[in-house]
């Protein structure tokens, strides 16, 4: 694998990074078009950023960052909503390059706190090796709600 280049994706260039995420997170099923439109709009408003890691002319990794105001921090904070690297590109610096670019993008916005939720030990090890620390005492709770209007999903 050659040099890894990380770039911020514009809404019009979302196709290849989104396809990579759909392959990983949705077993190849495309997101609904109304969601893709909302994603592009959030990207254009600066509420999220999509970073694409490319090597040899193709996207091999993607990170999706979301920016929100935090009352406790009295400022912006960021979450890494999704980070995916193709299995064939893992352990070759792609994930680290995406996290370095995340840090640069956050610093440029004045964001000093970035969090990521992980679901497996491999991801936890990767983030810990990259300088992220587990938040003691933090637990994540979730609940699904029935949507009345399918256009809101």
Q: Where are the domains of the chain?
A: 5-152
pLDDT digits (tens, 9 = 90+) for 54-107: 999 999 999 999 999 989 888 899 999 999 999 999 999 999 999 999 999 999
pLDDT digits (tens, 9 = 90+) for 102-142: 999 999 999 989 999 998 999 999 999 999 999 998 888 88
pLDDT for position 142: 86
- CATH level 3 topology of 5-152: Aminopeptidase (3.40.630)
- C-alpha distances out from residue 90 to 22, 28, 149, Å: 18, 20, 40
pLDDT for position 49: 96
pTM of the model: 0.90
pLDDT for position 150: 59
Nearby residues of 57 by Cβ (< 8 Å), 6 or more positions away: none
pLDDT digits (tens, 9 = 90+) for 23-66: 999 999 999 999 999 999 999 999 999 999 999 999 999 999 99
pLDDT for position 151: 59
Judging by DSSP bridges, how do beta strands 5-8 and 58-70 pair with one another?
Answer: unpaired
């Amino acid at each position: 694998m050659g040099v890894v280049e990380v770039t911020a994706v514009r809404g019009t260039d979302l196709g290849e990074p989104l396809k990579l995420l759909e392959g990983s997170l949705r077993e190849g099923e495309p997101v609904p078009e109304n969601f893709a439109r909302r994603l592009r709009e959030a990207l254009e408003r600066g509420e999220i950023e999509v970073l694409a890691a490319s090597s040899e002319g193709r996207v091999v990794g993607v990170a999706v960052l979301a920016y929100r105001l935090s009352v406790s921090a009295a400022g912006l904070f960021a979450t890494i909503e999704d980070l995916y690297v193709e299995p064939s590109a893992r352990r070759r610096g792609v994930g680290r390059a995406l996290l370095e670019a995340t840090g640069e993008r956050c610093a440029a916005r004045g964001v000093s706190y970035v969090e990521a939720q992980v679901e497996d030990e491999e991801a936890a090890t990767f983030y810990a090796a990259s300088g992220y620390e587990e938040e003691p005492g933090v637990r994540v709770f979730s609940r699904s709600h029935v949507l009345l209007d399918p256009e809101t999903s």
